[in-house]
Amino acid sequence: MRLTRSEVESFGKEGYLEERTEFGDKIFIYALAVKTSGNELSATFAGEKITMYVPVQMVSEWTTTDKVGYDNVMAVGDGKSLSLLLEKDFKCIDDNVLENQDDNYENPLTICE
């Protein structure tokens, strides 16, 4: 999941964020929630909703610092795994981007030191 500035701010305050994508008459829901135990990203999938859980200590660091994100590979049974990635969404450095990026983070590759 990649989140914009306002989404990161909202998640930091509320501890929960949910979005929906409509596929005809079906809805896919994806959510981000704080968990009080553990120290790794994890996820569940129930019905038509996937929820990624972020340990509380990660939430504080991620929402108040320049930390870009976290990742984890979670075992899901039968020798299979799921790669989880949570990141701040940066502005693209390509010139031909059609989406509005006003709420994205400045891309560190475009900042001169």
What would the pLDDT profile of 14-46 be if each residue is shown by its tens digit? 999 999 999 999 999 999 999 999 999 999 999
- pLDDT of 109 above 80: no
Where do the structural domains in the chain lie, given as residue ranges?
A: 2-110
- 0.85 exceeded by the pTM? no
**Surface-to-core class of residue 101, CB atoms within 10 Å of its CB (0-12 exposed, 13-18 middle, 19+ buried):** middle
What would the pLDDT profile of 63-97 be if each residue is shown by its tens digit? 998 898 999 999 999 999 999 999 988 776 666 66
Rounded CA-CA distance 9/84 in Å is: 21
Neighbours of 9 (CB within 10 A): 13
Rounded CA-CA distance 22/20 in Å is: 7
Alpha helical stretches, state H, the chain: 5-14, 56-64
